[in-house]
């Protein structure tokens, strides 16, 4: 959807990418969906617009993006083929991971924790929610934060919102 703020138009897409399952048709479906998203991002990159892809991508991009990365190697959400998709978006198309750019290197902060065990209390999570912006919009990002609940009991989801503020020009 295009959102008009003052004289600025920002294209915002909110996506949910399902988890997938390594080596199954479900994973093939996930990869086809990611390819379609990539085509849309390529079109946005070509016209230089303010645009952001936000949502649950269900991919931890690097070892800084999940606590137990060694135990999850080879599993959906941390597959080299999935990580390569994000590499393409960021490196080849020039999109910016706003969270990582403003926060700096990890580990974390995470945006998802299992309901099981003590994952939330031990901050044993995954950073799978994203704000992936065109360079023009990313340059206007003034703040990004994970709105993590203070306690396990106060959680309303297994995800925490990833909030970004963009300081659009007053035209």
| Dist CA 38 CA 19 (whole Å) | 17
| 61, 127, 128, 141 from 167: Cα distances, Å | 26, 24, 24, 6
| Dist CA 66 CA 59 (whole Å) | 10
Q: Is 123 considered catalytic here?
A: no
Strand positions, DSSP E, the chain:
2-5, 8-16, 50-56, 96-97, 129-133, 141-146, 162-166
Find the catalytic residue in 56, 65, 97, 129: 56
DSSP letter, residue 97? E
Sign (positive or negative) of CA dihedral 143, 144, 149, 152: negative
Which residues form the catalytic set? 56
């Amino acid at each position: 959807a295009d959102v008009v703020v003052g004289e600025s138009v920002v294209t915002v897409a909110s996506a949910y990418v399902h988890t997938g399952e390594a080596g199954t048709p479900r994973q093939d479906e996930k990869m086809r969906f990611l390819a379609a998203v990539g085509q849309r991002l390529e079109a946005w990159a070509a016209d230089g617009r303010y645009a952001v892809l936000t949502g649950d991508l269900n991919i931890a991009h690097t070892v800084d993006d999940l606590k137990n990365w060694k135990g999850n190697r080879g599993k959906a959400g941390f597959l080299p083929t999935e990580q390569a998709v994000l590499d393409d978006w960021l490196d080849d198309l020039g999109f910016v991971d706003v969270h990582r750019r403003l926060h700096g290197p990890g580990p974390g902060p995470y945006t998802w924790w299992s309901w099981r065990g003590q994952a939330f209390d031990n901050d044993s999570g995954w950073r799978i929610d994203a704000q992936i912006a065109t360079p023009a919009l990313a340059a206007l990002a003034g703040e990004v934060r994970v709105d993590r609940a203070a306690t396990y009991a106060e959680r309303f989801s297994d995800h925490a919102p990833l909030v970004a503020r963009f300081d659009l020009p007053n035209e």
